[in-house]
Structures are given as C-alpha cells and as structure tokens.
Amino acid sequence: MAAIIILGIFLAPIIALPVVGAVDETANMATIQGEVNDADGVKLPNVKVIAEGTTNKSLSYEKITDKNGNFNLNVQPGEYLIHAEKAGGVGSVYYHIEDIEVKDGDNKTLHITLQEHPSSIGGVVSFNGAPLSDVSVRVSDDTDQSWVATSSRDGKYTISNIPSGRYTIEFSKKGYETKERSLELLPMGYTNLDVEMERSRLPVSNGFIPGYDLAHSFMIIGLGLAITTLVVALLIQHWVRKRPEQLSEDEEELEA
C-alpha cells in the first residue's frame, strides 16, 4: 500500500502537466478582428491581413478577409504591426500599417481603410561626369498623366507622390539628346535613377541647303564659291591674253 501511495505522488505531477498546459495556452490567447474598407467605405474581400510581432519576431499571423471584408486573428499577447494589402489597378497596391498591443484575453476591433502609398523617384543628371542643371524630368504613364521636375545646380531631381505602376521617365534639355527609361515604381518605395546626357547632333533640316546639316551646307557653299572663283579667274586670264591682239586690230582700223 505504501508503495502505491509513493508511486502516486511521483506520477501525479506528470499526469497533471498536459492539463495545466492546455489551460495556460487558452488563457494566453487574444483576438484581433475587424473589417477592411476602401476610401469610399466599401468593404473589401480578399484582403491579406498580417499581424507580425514587433518585440517577438517569431510571432506571425495571417488571414484573408471574407466576402464582407471581415477578418479574425487569434494571437498571443504582445505588440504587433498590422499590415493589410490588396492589389489594385495598373500595378497599384493599397496598404494599411498600424501598431497595436494586445494583452491576455483582449478582443481588439480594427476598422482598416486601405489607401495607396505612393512612390518617389530621384537621382542626378550629369554631362561628362559633371552635374547638369535645368534638365526637365518627366514621369508619365500610358494615360498621359505626368509628373515633372527640373534638375538643380548640382544636377539633382526628386519627384514624389507618384502612384505605384510602370512609367516612362524622360530627360530633356535644349542642345542635348532626350533620354528615356522605363521603370516599375513600387509602393512606399524610392527609386534612384542617375542619367548621363549627351550633346545632340544638328538635325538634317537645320542647314542652309535642304537635306544637309549645317556643316555640310558650308562645305557645299564653299566648294561652289571656289569653283565660281576659278571660272572667273580663267575667263579674266583668257580676256587679258586676247587683249593685245584686239588693241592691234583697233590701231590698224584707225590708220586705215
């Protein structure tokens, strides 16, 4: 009998452990729930809602909103970064980021409004390695919506608040060749784009003679003047050689 009692004393804590653990795990959970809307208040389904621990990086929970834009996350107590995102049109992504803290047994309700977080682009424009000022930088999309900036004295430019998506970036200045780049601008991102400009060549139509540039127009005119001068010189030389004969004939006529 004594042996049974002693065995029971040793086994009792081991048998009780799973029960205690189950009770503690339930007591330590909290709830983060809510709804996701757009800027007009329309509830959004299929939005990814992520809760990531800020003090405990190993904590991460994720849910997709239902057809009514609702979500429900069971999480451990702690501090979290709530991150919600949904893809929009033309490559746009709409975001919401919020810091919250939940304690044991908490039931937090969030009302999330998704807004697009724009992009920005900047860099340095140069020529022969030196900063180039007064360069027009134009960012445009397929709908001809555009954002424009001008490079400063140190060649720098910055354009902010551009919706994410694919764009054409154009660099132009009088006397320089226009440069174009195509880029995908990401939400909440900064894109650095440096450009080296080149001197432009004169168009064919800018010369004195149609169909030739300025340099070739001067060459043709110079060649024409040289030929004309040579012809005139030959005519004068021929006339001078003939002149004594003409003078003799004139004198004979006068004597007769």
What CATH number is given to the structural domain containing 61?
2.60.40.1120
The answer as to whether 144 is a domain residue is yes
What number of other Cβ atoms are within 10 A of residue 95's Cβ?
15
The residue to which tokens 């880029």 are assigned: 183
The answer as to whether 81 is a domain residue is yes
The answer as to whether 94 is a domain residue is yes
Q: Which of 92, 88, 96, 93 is nearest to 113 (CA)?
A: 96
Give dist(CA 148, CA 139) in Å, integer: 6
Q: Which amino acid is at 132?
A: L
Structural domain for 165, as ranges: 119-196
What CATH number is given to the structural domain containing 162?
2.60.40.10
158 and 96 together in one domain: no
Per-residue pLDDT of the chain (256 residues; tens, 9 = 90+): 555 545 455 555 544 444 333 334 455 889 999 999 988 889 999 999 999 999 898 999 999 999 999 999 999 999 999 989 887 655 566 778 889 999 998 999 999 998 877 889 999 999 999 999 999 999 999 888 899 999 999 999 999 988 878 899 999 999 999 999 999 887 777 899 999 999 987 554 555 566 566 677 777 888 888 899 988 888 887 777 766 665 566 556 656 5
66 and 110 together in one domain: yes
Residues 6+ apart with CB under 8 A from 78: 53, 54, 55, 56, 59, 101, 102
Number of domains in the chain: 2
The answer as to whether 225 is a domain residue is no
Picking from 196, 213, 230, the residue at the C-terminal end of a domain is: 196
The answer to whether the pTM exceeds 0.75 is: no
Range 239-245 contact pairs with CB under 8 angstroms and sequence separation of 24 or more = none
Number of H helices, E strands in the chain: 2, 17
